[in-house]
Amino acid sequence: MDACRNVKWTPAQIFSLGSTRTYADGSAKEADNSFRPDKPEVEYPNGIDKGTRPWPNLVIEVAYSETMDHVTDKVKNYWLKPDRAHDAIVVKIDPVPNGQVPTRMIIEEQDPHFLLELRLNSAQLMGMEIF
């Protein structure tokens, strides 16, 4: 596990778990990255390994070929179920046509968690739009 620096004058640390495979509901999933503080084991079989390893506090999903509906469903119905991850960040990247560059980024807040969508299209640079 890689550790991030202490948080603003506290001894708090958060550890990157990378794309750790998790098991639940008869399936296995890997977030593109995940983080959690050092915390005790959980009661068997509630861990990410169907054992005692605790779930991450934060998962990050990057979606390129997936639709936003599909990745949102995965986040809401897998990662954010009770006793799993606390928060999720989704970065949705739309394909960029040849010869064009990314032109705007949209941040969508979906209560109580938020999703980050990176829109790549040929429109003029729109800057940040917050919903």
Burial class from Cβ neighbours inside 10 Å (0-12, 13-18, 19+) for residue 22 reads buried
Which pLDDT tens digit goes with each residue over 46-97? 999 999 999 999 999 998 888 888 988 999 899 999 999 999 988 888 778 8
**Separation between Cα atoms, residue 112 and residue 87, nearest integer Å:** 9
Which pLDDT tens digit goes with each residue over 35-45? 999 899 999 99
pTM above 0.75, yes or no: no
Helix (H) / strand (E) containing 74: helix 68-74
